[in-house]
Amino acid sequence: MSSSKNLIDRVVAILTKPKAEWPIIAAEPDSVGSLFTKYIIILAAIPSIMGFVKTVVIGVGIPFSGTFRVGFAAGLTALILRYALSLVGVFLMSLIIDALAPSFGGEKNKVQALKTVAYAYTASWIASIGMIVPGIYLLILLFGAGYSIYLLYLGLPNTMKCPPDKSAGYTAVSIIIAIVLSWVVGFLVSSTVGFGAMTGGTAFERHDRGAGPDSVTFDKDSPLGKLAEMGKRTEAARAQLDAAQKSGDSKAQATAAGAMIGAALGGDSKVEALAPDRLKAFLPDAIGGLKRTDLASERNGALGMQTSNAKANYSDNAGHSVELEVTDLGGAKAVLGLAGWAGVESDHETDHGYDKMYQSGDRIIHEQWDRQSNRGEYSEVIAQRFVVKLSGSASGIDDLKAGVHGVDLSQLAALKDDGVTKN
């Protein structure tokens, strides 16, 4: 950030007159280090601090149950972890935007890519102050997110030199990846145990007590270690995207872009999702006396990544109905892997029901039940790739569990490597 414009002036300018400010930003001489120290590390702290105030000091209102507050130690741990991961997320997004530039007619430049992310995220960071405003805080956060998307759309032609008519596509792909990264960060923050262990020395190691900061490395099996590997893979995938761009082969460019996105999501493989007919085979004719009334399946793909899904509805004449879904996340399976490494866990209960997520062996399980309506949902993540979910009305959560376990989950898990090829 230019010394002629202080932080407050820049924030006001990018929020109130972005069309005029983006050309100024693009022309400023800057560096990755100065952008972080003078701008990003300050503004990126706002959501974490506001989250701490909201959950620890003010409390979160739960309908019919009063106000829930997180303990100080847990809240402080979450603050630190969220802040650290948000900085990692900003850097990863800058790598992704830089790597995508040639695919949308732009020019690669790491500093300009970091500028793009930092100043586009400004609206969302500032809007996070709204977390402490009761009643309308969700509207404030949504407005901030929407305005950040608009800022990104305006900024890309200036910083990354992409043609204005390609800015919308460039923005759309970038936002999809940003949403996934935010989802991963949310999962990691919810698992404070992993971070707590880090402070005890298991999540990162110092090889020499007298060593400097450069000798600190993350344990490869820790959540932050996985994020570090994610960054390395993203950087390596840039070379493949460069070569594809020079070749002029549109198919090769799409494949390389898919490989880059896969690397950003934490994976080192390309996955062809199972054919819909193979997933349909896991949907039984009946579940607990309820007969199957319809069946549908599909497979979708973009930028070399695929997902497939099969679902069926089951009902009887007594008003009971459920929906069973079997999903192959394909190229996005690495996101679930990262959630698994983080030890995802949550447990929320009210007078009327509960909602919890936990791990059992190598599976991530989600349960939700409402005792008033006798409706709920039960799902299991199988082999960090497939999701089997049963939802609807039932006598109890055990009926939904039984329905999911009526699917041949072991056979589904055996297909985890089908269609997988290393990048």
pLDDT digits (tens, 9 = 90+) for 296-314: 988 876 545 567 889 999 9
β-sheet bridge partners, residue 308: 299, 328
Instruction: Find out whether 293 and 323 touch, Cβ atoms under 8 Å.
Output: no
Rounded Cα distance between 270 and 423, Å, is 6
Q: Do 262 and 288 share a domain, yes or no?
A: no
Residue 285 has a pLDDT of 93
Is 393 a residue whose pLDDT tops 50? Answer: yes
Range in 153-162, 253-262, 299-308 the model is least confident about: 253-262
Per the model's pLDDT, the better-predicted residue between 281 and 197 turns out to be 281
Instruction: Find out whether 97 and 91 touch, Cβ atoms under 8 Å.
Output: no
Residue 141 has a pLDDT of 77
The pLDDT of 380-387, averaged and rounded, is 85
Residue 117 has a pLDDT of 93
Element (H, E) at 398: helix 397-405
Residue 131 has a pLDDT of 73
Q: Do 317 and 173 share a domain, yes or no?
A: no
Q: Do 322 and 180 share a domain, yes or no?
A: no
Is 27 a residue whose pLDDT tops 60? Answer: yes
For the chain, what is the domain count? 2
Q: Do 325 and 194 share a domain, yes or no?
A: no
Q: Evaluate whether residue 393 is within a structural domain.
A: yes
Residue 279 has a pLDDT of 93
The pLDDT of 202-210, averaged and rounded, is 32
Q: Which two three-digit tokens encode residue 149?
A: 């998307």
Q: Evaluate whether residue 123 is within a structural domain.
A: yes
Q: pTM (2 decimals)?
A: 0.48
Rounded Cα distance between 20 and 225, Å, is 40
Q: Evaluate whether residue 220 is within a structural domain.
A: yes
Q: Evaluate whether residue 205 is within a structural domain.
A: yes
Residue 96 has a pLDDT of 85
Instruction: Find out whether 227 and 81 touch, Cβ atoms under 8 Å.
Output: no
Residue 121 has a pLDDT of 92
Instruction: Find out whether 68 and 59 touch, Cβ atoms under 8 Å.
Output: yes
Q: Do 284 and 258 share a domain, yes or no?
A: no
Q: Do 302 and 391 share a domain, yes or no?
A: yes
Q: Evaluate whether residue 136 is within a structural domain.
A: yes
Q: Evaluate whether residue 339 is within a structural domain.
A: yes
Buried b (16+ CB within 10 A) or exposed e, 136-172: ebeebbeebbebbbebbbbbbbbbbbbeeeebeebbe
Q: Do 249 and 282 share a domain, yes or no?
A: no
Q: Which two three-digit tokens encode residue 331?
A: 């190229």
Rounded Cα distance between 213 and 72, Å, is 29
The pLDDT of 89-95, averaged and rounded, is 86
Q: Do 258 and 401 share a domain, yes or no?
A: no
Helices marked H in 191-320: 192-199, 223-247, 250-264, 276-280
Residue 203 has a pLDDT of 30
Q: Evaluate whether residue 271 is within a structural domain.
A: no
Q: Evaluate whether residue 2 is within a structural domain.
A: no
Residue 26 has a pLDDT of 93
Is 404 a residue whose pLDDT tops 50? Answer: yes
**Average confidence score pLDDT of the chain:** 75
Per the model's pLDDT, the better-predicted residue between 380 and 215 turns out to be 380
Range in 174-183, 195-204, 271-280 the model is least confident about: 195-204
Beta strands in 26-146 (DSSP E): 60-62, 66-68
Q: Do 74 and 116 share a domain, yes or no?
A: yes
Instruction: Find out whether 283 and 406 touch, Cβ atoms under 8 Å.
Output: no
Residue 423 has a pLDDT of 57
Rounded Cα distance between 176 and 171, Å, is 9
Residue 199 has a pLDDT of 30
Last residue of a domain, one of 233, 266, 299: 266
> In terms of residue numbers, what domain contains 352?
276-422
Q: Do 213 and 286 share a domain, yes or no?
A: no
Radius of gyration of the chain (CA): 23
Ordered DSSP codes for 285-344: SEETTEEEEEEEEEEEEETTEEEEEEEEEEE-TTS-EEEEEEEE-GGGHHHHHHHHHHT-
Q: Do 390 and 290 share a domain, yes or no?
A: yes
Last residue of a domain, one of 209, 235, 266: 266
Q: Do 284 and 163 share a domain, yes or no?
A: no
Last residue of a domain, one of 266, 286, 307: 266
Range in 21-35, 43-57, 158-172, 234-248 the model is least confident about: 234-248
β-sheet bridge partners, residue 5: none
